[in-house]
Structure 1
Amino acid sequence: MVPPLALDIDGTLTTPTGRIDPRAFEQLPEWDAPVVFATGKAFPYPVALAHFLGREETVIAENGGVAYADGETTVVGDPDAARAVVEAFRERGGAVGWGDGDTVNRWRETEVALSPDADEALLREVAAAVDDVEVVDTGYAYHVKSTGVSKGRALGVVADALGLDPAAFVAVGDSENDVSTFGVAGESYAVANADAAAREAADEVVEKGFMDGTVSVLERLRERAQ
């Protein structure tokens, strides 16, 4: 039997230009074990991906701030603290950077995400003055969130809801926010485009990047299960 999966989305199921790689629609619908989509994006994004793949909507969003499995939603973190940090950042001249619509944060429940073009040094300086708040750089955004909130913690919640041991999962990711998932899953892979933190934490760094790397892991897992 193939193992359950905990898959990051951006940089892991995407092309280098940020699009969902069409091979996700070939590889994942028939995967014969639970698949958890674990992302820094807001809750609607992984839910929509699961829906269009025909998978159960079993997801981790906002870097672990929101977890959904078996019809139950778990929300953790202090969004007010994160918003206060961002407001102080703005007062000191910082910009969130997504434009007037800001669909990046419109449905976000537990944290605030800022553009990778935001003033990182100023943001970290402001956040350091607030207890229990941290900034995580995913390579796609700076996330201001509560400390202790992580994808790894959320994977434990999801696994429990599914009646599984978190160590049964194989995790694939590319970023600092995947480090905690790698620490909880029984087996972990960083794709070749992964940042230094993810590469250091993974059991293995695969030779290929983005969806090419993820496909190589999935093919290996299928072969091993035969």
Structure 2
Amino acid sequence: MDRADAAPDTRPPLAVDIDGTLTDRHRVVDPRVFAALREWPAPVVLATGKALPYPVALCEFAGLATLVVAENGGVVCLDTDSHDELVIDGDRAAAERVAAAYREAGHDLGWGSLDLVNRWRETEIAVSRDAPLDPLREIAADHGLRVFDTGFAYHVVSPDVDKGRGLGIVADRLGRDSEEFVAIGDSENDVATFEAAGRSFAVANADDAATQAADQVTDTAYANGFFEALSTVRSSP
């Protein structure tokens, strides 16, 4: 068959978590993902709990268009040839009040005095998983906020902010429906993305919330699970 007569590649756009999904258990990005993401023939959205500079840098070094949902949906960034927009949602001031009350209760955020984890956050606060969770949840609830346990940190976020909502914003700007996307992730903050997307995969290391919400759970963990999900999507009709 002539190349010009070949069927077009109809693989769907992706919404992919970073920590625990594109990494190993130590949060080291698997170098194989750079080519895999760059060569995917449809838009790739990085949807993460990390502050905006991290996924933007990953897009830069992977050679991807900047399509980012950061801070669990609190920040959405599109910086492409046809789109230039930054959407900030959530209440950083409220999260700061939770952090202050948490410290007053005798607890520490757990990142040391420099705290690079929170330095660039605009809508939430992240707390080390070495810190006690129950008092953090109680204080957050008192301030009308909630806490996500991503498996790498506790995130204090506004109740109406999540990755699924962020994905909806990106999809709308791209002229697509969020149900066109395949979502891949590993923790409870990915559940909203799974619900917004048309198809979802939890990698084998995923927590119970993500495992129960996903359409399919991979046999392999971390980045290997990501590649397994891609292989399944490629082979789907």
C-alpha distance after superposition, 1:83-130 (max 9, x if no partner): 101100001101000111111000000000010111111111211212
- What is the count of residue pairs matched by the alignment? 224
SS in 2 for 1:192: coil
Q: Greater CA radius of gyration, 1 or 2? A: 2
Paired with 1:199 and 1:224, the residues of 2 have a C-alpha distance of 21
Paired with 1:207 and 1:140, the residues of 2 have a C-alpha distance of 21
RMSD of the TM alignment (CA)? 0.9
Paired with 1:126 and 1:15, the residues of 2 have a C-alpha distance of 32
Normalising to structure 1: TM-score of the pair? 0.97
Deviation at 1:173, TM superposition (A): 0.2
Whether 1:88 aligns to 2:101 is: yes
Paired with 1:82 and 1:17, the residues of 2 have a C-alpha distance of 27
Counterpart of 2:123? 110
Deviation at 1:17, TM superposition (A): 2.0
Do the aligned residues in 1 keep the contact of 2:35 with 2:62 (CA within 8 Å)?
A: no
Whether 1:28 aligns to 2:34 is: no
Match of 1:50 among 33, 55, 59: 59
Match of 2:227 among 215, 218, 223: 215
Deviation at 1:26, TM superposition (A): 2.6
SS in 1 for 2:66: coil
Paired with 1:140 and 1:94, the residues of 2 have a C-alpha distance of 18
Q: Can you give the 5+ residue segments of structure 2 that lack an aligned partner in the other structure?
A: 1-9
Paired with 1:32 and 1:222, the residues of 2 have a C-alpha distance of 11
Paired with 2:37 and 2:138, the residues of 1 have a C-alpha distance of 41
Normalising to structure 2: TM-score of the pair? 0.93
Give structure 1 regions of 4+ aligned residues with deviation exceeding 4 angstroms: none
Whether 1:99 aligns to 2:112 is: yes
Of the two structures, which has the highest relative contact order with CA contacts closer than 8 Å and spacing of 6 or more?
1
